[in-house]
Structure 1
Amino acid sequence: MQSFRTELENPLVEKDIIELEQKIRLFREGQIPDEKFRSLRLARGVYGQRQPGVQMVRIKLPYGKMTLQQWKRISDISDEYSTGNLHLTTRQDIQIHFVSLERTPELWAKLELDDITIREACGNTVRNITASDKAGIDPEEPFDITPYADATFRYFLRNPICQDMGRKFKMSFSSSDRDTAFSFMHDIGVIPKIRVVDGKEVRGFKVMLAGGLGAQPMLAKVAFEFLEADQLIPYIESVLRVFDRHGERASRHKARIKFLIQKIGFEEFERLVKEEYKAIKSKSVPVDAAAWPADALPAEDAVVPAYTIRDPKLYEAWKKTNTFEQKQKGYYGAYLRILLGNISSVTSRALVEQLRPVVADDVRVTVNQGLLLKYIKPEHLPYVFSVLEQHNLAAAGFDSIADITACPGTDTCNLAISSSTGIAVALEDVINNEFPDLIYNNDIKIKISGCMNSCGQHGLAHIGFHGSSMKAGGKVLPALQVLLGGGLVGDGVGRVADKVIKVPSRRGPDVLRSLLHDYETNGNSGELFNDYFDRQGERYFYDLLKPLTDLTSVKDDDFVDWGQAQTFATAIGVGECAGVVIDLIATLLYEAEEKQVWAAEALANGAWADGIYHTYSSFVQAAKALLLDENVNCNTQHGIINDFEKHFVDTGKLDIGGFKALVLQINQHEPTESFAKQYFAQAQTFYKAVQQYRQTKTEAPAAASV
């Protein structure tokens, strides 16, 4: 592949991109194992697709924000390197698909020209930090959480403590007690609070810890009812350090923080977090919210071209369901329903140019795969609608039951079992054609995932579906697991949906019809769907839907999934969200040496805390290499430290003193210059001892055979 050089102003970013290009070349030359390379590219937002030979690139948009220029840049990038489609995700990212691996460094460099990153968008890292899309304009917010979400994103980007954890880590910032960023389903989710102390208002957050969806959903626990704002980032840093050291690394399905707390208990986890406080980089991280840049508002004297509204009745419905008055009086926000989260680059560029005069330079991707436009004057709402109408984006019912969330499913994902997108379109057709008034129902949410991993967030839906399979007559047919009763309660409280029944995928529309007709008939006046579900009970809905599971009457069409032409067959690939366990001795030793190089660079720049953590990682990687060479399982970093003491120090194989005490100095000292340099020197000495042991061991069999 041909090398290139970037012209970026940020040397850290430029180094990142050049390193990716170099590692791709080494991988193609066979010098980096596939498993190691997969881990590396995932941390750079490059994700393998279901289709061999091409990549999905995930573009990281902190709290879902993009400027109009960034939106245009992403659109241009999709045309040049992808298919001209922008896929909006439930984590407020944008994904583009079918990208050549060799072109990803160049793609990344062009994105960074407008301050857009793909760094840590995938892999065992801190993923995109999500937030309520209304943040900053929410009439119910106690204060704007945007500066705090942004500071958190920047603090942990490229932070050594979270580059290669046992699994991914997700965070969210809600704008109010309505908790529209779903704090209860995140590793850390926060809700803004204000307390009055000595007559002064103090900003802080309710902190929720260790929630998650996936195959084994768990609701988050309350870590703090109120944590002062300057203590939030230090607390998160301590949590991440504990997760990195004690989190599972061998079993992918037990590697999230919720399982660590389930294993050791909440009290023990809190004790470990407090133990880290002495060693963290900053004991207080204040955020100067007052200095946060003001929104770039549209011009006061904006002039719009002549326009026509083709469907005045639809305009009134759209205005009622898709717009709201901001806390800034005289301005409105307007939501766009984006079917399946897919919007073309051509449409995107047209919207940027046509809407630029009348919207703020701040567009938000929403958690249900839509878009939010801000700071629209009421007199400009008709014009905005007319533009959307031109591009078939004027559908009413944003965030209603008709606005279905779905992951890409079998279209591109390795893990998907059955189609998400095809069934989502079929269900929206049922609502639009048979229950049109439900565009005004914002109570019920429908969410669909292609598998149990819940990228479509089916686990928190009132009516959820995830892809599955069934057997009939010796053949396999696509199926949907039906879940009911999930949803948002507020202020950190949520509900996980119950699995009710599995049906053939082709009967998904009949499931929805049965549920909605029964709700219409048997629901009490004004009764919310989840209250109705609780009153009737899970068994009631199992019995209601049981006739749809009858496989004695399956037809040929039942064996063909939605949107497909071929007979269904399960074809699950290797998942990449969690990265992999690396068990190659030479690779681990190479990594240990590489981390010492990074530590030396950090120390040279006076970044003592970063240097210390790179040094710690070097200790662990080198120890892991020798343990694996002795066929000792390595599940956690803490386990590696203990096992190395047991198998190499206590047995006298390596005369290095107490290894555990040596390594765990990391949380016994302030991150000072003197400790950083001392710790680094000790790591260098240890690494030389490891190399010498390996050399002696490999030479002994050779000598014996002479």
Structure 2
Amino acid sequence: MQSFRSEIENPLVEKDILELERKIRLFKEGQVDEERFRSLRLARGVYGQRQLGVQMVRIKIPYGKVTSEQLHRIADVSDEYSRGRLHITTRQDIQIHYVSLDRTPELWAQLEKDDITLREACGNAVRNVTASETAGIDPNEPFDITPYAHATFQFFLRNPICQEMGRKFKMSFSSTDDDTALSFMHDLGFIAKTKKIGDTEVKGFKVLLAGGLGSQPRHADVMYEFLETDLLIPTIEGVLRVFDRFGERSKRAKARLKFLVKDLGLDGFLTLVENEKRALAYQSYPIDTSDFESEITFESTEVPTVQIDNQQDFELWKSTNVIKQKQEGLFAVGIKVHLGDFYTDKARKLADLIKQYAANELRFTLRQNILIRHVREEFLPFFYTELQKLGFAEAGYDSIADITACPGTDTCNLGISSSTGIAVELERVLKAEYPQYISNKDVTIKISGCMNACGQHNMAHIGFQGMSIKSGNLVAPALQVLLGGGVLGNGEGRFSDKLIKVPSKRGPESLRLLLNDFDTNKNVEESFLNYYDRQGKTYFYDLLKHLSDTTNLVEDDFIDWGHDKNYVKAIGVGECAGVVIDLVATLLFESEEKLDNATEAFENGQWSDSIYYAYSAFVNTAKALLTSEGVKTNTHDGIINNFQETFVATNRIELSENFPALIYQINKNKPSKEFAYNYLNQAKGFYQKIDTFRKLVVEN
């Protein structure tokens, strides 16, 4: 297990992997509580699977970009530690399944050889930073957002301010007003803009705040119409600090940023962000874009000779899967990846193809697909024939027939009914019965196995959510049908209306009814959303109502798609960054670790990091004592105030000043060496006082 030490060049990464290995050992020895261990492994991309004894490992791929070398590395790891299948997520990550927990540190070390991380791919942290897959090649973009997405990923990876928040935090960057990265449904969404200031054209972003999907979708607020790029990182840090301090931590269903902003109001939240400015290490953070401006080069310039067997199929493929880049003579090629799943044999061949003929870059997309970039026009026939050999030349990239679906009951603990199974059947229906829709990119179909919306069903034109339905004493798999969602552009979007619940086996018929009605009754050039609005929700409810009748179910209705046995509703404990129950001793142990991190950061001259680690130790230590008394610890702010009322105001704990004043020095002082030194020593002194108090209580 220790053999990877000499292979890791980055000491921070080595420390991280060794810490995961150590905590696995302590957990198996019974020295670390299961719930706390879950929190730690989630922050390292290791996620419990529906099947007992194995893990899903999520590989964090910033804005979906991979090189040939990285794709080879991922394929090697999947073959060695998993089953050779790769799954592209709607956040441009890669997931592999059925991994042994004991082997995860070694797996991670192998990935890091090609600069690939698992860190914060899951858990209560900043998740993968997503972006438009056409960033840098879109003819309509004001500028390439790639370096800004990359800088955001780098700055907040392992950043102490966002390691143990109440819930996950998601960010996206859209290249154009088309908003292909879906800013309106993110905690923070950024849309590229430019603005004339005097004679200078300045780069910046429209900033969207506190959007989200799930069971209670919320449209993001406009935080700023225009934020200059130099203020991007400080603004994100301010938002994260406020979320960390005031966000809910006990009630998981209310722990996302959207609930905090709703409670505080936009103005109230922005005031708190403004109050954090003094504490930031950077008031301005210019982002160097030079590494992303290099000339596009190719390993091979010789065009291989190929024979196109069916010219009509080739032309259809070009019309649906090939995108003209802003770079003269270059094109991007979209690969429709069925359900986001592909295998390592194909991954390696694809990796070799892009290295030799396509400038060594592809991006995984938000629709669970692959986009190859920088393909010369004369090479398109060659790419078509090569992709045909891999089964990657199916027409309909990003069309209605390109259905997005989460893994559902295949591997997820929270899956209620099969999302992949119904997706397979709906794609079959579209291909066989509605070939005219293969080129339709104006309608989207998305499917989630539960209400958590990993498949983004509640922002689709046509969405399906996995459910169950009763018929007498029996339970059948079901689908909630949703209509009317979509991306409107420039930070605007709409969420789908919940229409009706039907048995899963009637899902295909519901799709037929909807498409047939649309084809028959729409006005000329009328979009699906306009048609839906004109007809109204009740019209579509009446259209599908007869499908919801459960008095006439047959035997097949009780068998879910992709299964051969009767449906059993089985929901496990979800690990989508759920808040965990902390034991007092574990909390105090963690406070010691935070103080060690603060000391190390101080010794390395990282004043801001040291201060935030010390702040976390203060709060964590106070939380331990409040937990021992059964006092609420829902938010950091609540912990600080409750500790004052419970222990300081009652003279049970004596401090030189009230506890909030002690803690909130953090946002009243610049992150200087002197303040970092004093604050760290105060945190150490506070811990020693609480540890002594706790030992006396336990002994008595």
Q: 1:295–1:362: 8 Å Cα contact kept in structure 2? A: no
Out of 353-362 and 401-410, give the one that drifted further. Answer: 353-362
Out of 485-494 and 310-319, give the one that drifted further. Answer: 310-319
Are positions 1:345 and 2:355 aligned together?
Answer: no
**2:626 is matched with which residue?**
627
What do residues 539-561 of structure 1 show as CA deviations (whole Å, max 9, x unaligned)?
11110000101112101110010
Displacement after TM superposition at 1:288 (Å): 2.0
Out of 388-397 and 441-450, give the one that drifted further. Answer: 388-397
Displacement after TM superposition at 1:139 (Å): 0.5
Displacement after TM superposition at 1:271 (Å): 0.6
Which residue identity lines up with residue 388 of structure 2 in the other structure?
Answer: E
Aligned residues: 699
Please give the residue correspondences for 1:565-604 in structure 2 after superposition, counting only pairs within 5 Å. 565-604=564-603
What do residues 685-706 of structure 1 show as CA deviations (whole Å, max 9, x unaligned)?
1111101111221222xxxxxx
**1:684 is matched with which residue?**
684
**2:171 is matched with which residue?**
171
**1:314 is matched with which residue?**
313
**1:90 is matched with which residue?**
90
Please give the residue correspondences for 1:186-205 in structure 2 after superposition, counting only pairs within 5 Å. 186-205=186-205
Instruction: Please state whether the residue corresponding to 2:153 is helix, strand or coil.
Output: helix
**1:121 is matched with which residue?**
121
Are positions 1:31 and 2:31 aligned together?
Answer: yes
**1:552 is matched with which residue?**
551
Instruction: Please state whether the residue corresponding to 2:446 is helix, strand or coil.
Output: strand
Are positions 1:483 and 2:502 aligned together?
Answer: no
Please give the residue correspondences for 1:644-659 in structure 2 after superposition, counting only pairs within 5 Å. 644-656=643-655, 657-659=657-659
Instruction: Please state whether the residue corresponding to 1:353 is helix, strand or coil.
Output: helix
Q: 2:165 and 2:295 mapped to 1: Cα distance?
A: 36
Displacement after TM superposition at 1:581 (Å): 2.4
What do residues 607-638 of structure 1 show as CA deviations (whole Å, max 9, x unaligned)?
00000000000001110111111111210010
Which residue identity lines up with residue 454 of structure 1 in the other structure?
Answer: A
Which residue identity lines up with residue 457 of structure 1 in the other structure?
Answer: Q
Which residue identity lines up with residue 201 of structure 2 in the other structure?
Answer: E
What do residues 148-207 of structure 1 show as CA deviations (whole Å, max 9, x unaligned)?
000000000000000000000000000011110000000000001111111011111000
Q: 1:298–1:375: 8 Å Cα contact kept in structure 2? A: no
Q: 1:6–1:109: 8 Å Cα contact kept in structure 2? A: no
What do residues 493-515 of structure 1 show as CA deviations (whole Å, max 9, x unaligned)?
00111101110000000010000
Q: 1:406 and 1:353 mapped to 2: Cα distance?
A: 28
**1:150 is matched with which residue?**
150
**2:329 is matched with which residue?**
330
Are positions 1:227 and 2:227 aligned together?
Answer: yes
**1:373 is matched with which residue?**
372
Are positions 1:520 and 2:510 aligned together?
Answer: no
Q: 1:296–1:362: 8 Å Cα contact kept in structure 2? A: no
Please give the residue correspondences for 1:234-253 in structure 2 after superposition, counting only pairs within 5 Å. 234-253=234-253
Q: 1:561–1:568: 8 Å Cα contact kept in structure 2? A: yes
Q: 1:70–1:114: 8 Å Cα contact kept in structure 2? A: yes
Q: Closer, same or farther in 2 for the Cα pair 1:502/1:325, shift >3 Å?
A: same
Q: Closer, same or farther in 2 for the Cα pair 1:167/1:675, shift >3 Å?
A: same
Q: 1:228 and 1:243 mapped to 2: Cα distance?
A: 22
Q: 1:302–1:357: 8 Å Cα contact kept in structure 2? A: no
Q: 1:386 and 1:3 mapped to 2: Cα distance?
A: 43
Q: 1:529 and 1:393 mapped to 2: Cα distance?
A: 29
What do residues 515-553 of structure 1 show as CA deviations (whole Å, max 9, x unaligned)?
000001111111000000000111111100001011121
Q: 2:280–2:670: 8 Å Cα contact kept in structure 1? A: yes
**2:104 is matched with which residue?**
104
Displacement after TM superposition at 1:474 (Å): 1.2
Which residue identity lines up with residue 504 of structure 1 in the other structure?
Answer: P
Which residue identity lines up with residue 427 of structure 2 in the other structure?
Answer: E
Q: 1:615 and 1:228 mapped to 2: Cα distance?
A: 31
What do residues 550-594 of structure 1 show as CA deviations (whole Å, max 9, x unaligned)?
112101110010001121111111111123323300001111111
Q: 1:351 and 1:550 mapped to 2: Cα distance?
A: 47
Q: Percent identity?
A: 59
What do residues 339-387 of structure 1 show as CA deviations (whole Å, max 9, x unaligned)?
0000100011122224432212111001001000111111110110101
Q: 2:251 and 2:3 mapped to 1: Cα distance?
A: 37
Q: 1:35–1:580: 8 Å Cα contact kept in structure 2? A: no
Q: 1:520 and 1:367 mapped to 2: Cα distance?
A: 28
**1:448 is matched with which residue?**
447
Displacement after TM superposition at 1:312 (Å): 2.3
Q: 2:355–2:361: 8 Å Cα contact kept in structure 1? A: no
Displacement after TM superposition at 1:295 (Å): 5.7
Which residue identity lines up with residue 492 of structure 2 in the other structure?
Answer: V
Q: 1:333 and 1:4 mapped to 2: Cα distance?
A: 38
Q: 2:6 and 2:634 mapped to 1: Cα distance?
A: 39
**1:671 is matched with which residue?**
671
Q: 2:5 and 2:289 mapped to 1: Cα distance?
A: 37
| Aligned-pair Cα RMSD in Å | 1.1
Q: 1:225 and 1:4 mapped to 2: Cα distance?
A: 47
Instruction: Please state whether the residue corresponding to 1:543 is helix, strand or coil.
Output: helix
Instruction: Please state whether the residue corresponding to 2:206 is helix, strand or coil.
Output: strand
Please give the residue correspondences for 1:262-411 in structure 2 after superposition, counting only pairs within 5 Å. 262-294=262-294, 296-299=296-299, 301-304=301-304, 306-411=305-410
Instruction: Please state whether the residue corresponding to 2:680 is helix, strand or coil.
Output: helix
Q: 1:560 and 1:2 mapped to 2: Cα distance?
A: 47
**2:208 is matched with which residue?**
208
Q: Closer, same or farther in 2 for the Cα pair 1:532/1:619, shift >3 Å?
A: same
Please give the residue correspondences for 1:13-92 in structure 2 after superposition, counting only pairs within 5 Å. 13-92=13-92
Q: 1:45–1:59: 8 Å Cα contact kept in structure 2? A: yes
Displacement after TM superposition at 1:3 (Å): 7.4
Q: 1:355–1:384: 8 Å Cα contact kept in structure 2? A: no
Q: 1:242–1:272: 8 Å Cα contact kept in structure 2? A: yes
Instruction: Please state whether the residue corresponding to 1:5 is helix, strand or coil.
Output: helix
Which residue identity lines up with residue 438 of structure 1 in the other structure?
Answer: Y
Q: 1:346 and 1:524 mapped to 2: Cα distance?
A: 47
Q: Closer, same or farther in 2 for the Cα pair 1:354/1:299, shift >3 Å?
A: closer
Q: 2:53 and 2:307 mapped to 1: Cα distance?
A: 46
Q: 1:338–1:393: 8 Å Cα contact kept in structure 2? A: yes
Displacement after TM superposition at 1:303 (Å): 3.9
Q: 2:42–2:577: 8 Å Cα contact kept in structure 1? A: no
What do residues 87-114 of structure 1 show as CA deviations (whole Å, max 9, x unaligned)?
0010000000000000000000010000
Q: 1:45–1:120: 8 Å Cα contact kept in structure 2? A: yes
**2:161 is matched with which residue?**
161
Are positions 1:529 and 2:528 aligned together?
Answer: yes
Q: 2:34 and 2:4 mapped to 1: Cα distance?
A: 23
Instruction: Please state whether the residue corresponding to 2:287 is helix, strand or coil.
Output: coil
Instruction: Please state whether the residue corresponding to 1:440 is helix, strand or coil.
Output: coil
Q: 2:61–2:92: 8 Å Cα contact kept in structure 1? A: yes
Q: 2:354–2:361: 8 Å Cα contact kept in structure 1? A: no
Normalised by the length of structure 2, the TM-score is 0.99
Where structure 2 has 5 or more consecutive residues not aligned to the other structure, the ranges are none
Q: Closer, same or farther in 2 for the Cα pair 1:355/1:628, shift >3 Å?
A: closer
Which residue identity lines up with residue 241 of structure 2 in the other structure?
Answer: R
Instruction: Please state whether the residue corresponding to 2:276 is helix, strand or coil.
Output: helix
Q: 2:354–2:362: 8 Å Cα contact kept in structure 1? A: no
Out of 688-697 and 424-433, give the one that drifted further. Answer: 688-697
Q: 1:297–1:375: 8 Å Cα contact kept in structure 2? A: no
Q: 1:99 and 1:437 mapped to 2: Cα distance?
A: 42
Displacement after TM superposition at 1:290 (Å): 3.6
Q: 2:595 and 2:217 mapped to 1: Cα distance?
A: 38
What do residues 50-108 of structure 1 show as CA deviations (whole Å, max 9, x unaligned)?
00100000000100100011111101111111110010010000000000000000000
Q: Closer, same or farther in 2 for the Cα pair 1:233/1:354, shift >3 Å?
A: closer
Where structure 1 has 5 or more consecutive residues not aligned to the other structure, the ranges are 701-706
Instruction: Please state whether the residue corresponding to 2:438 is helix, strand or coil.
Output: helix
Q: 2:354 and 2:205 mapped to 1: Cα distance?
A: 35
Q: 2:315 and 2:3 mapped to 1: Cα distance?
A: 55
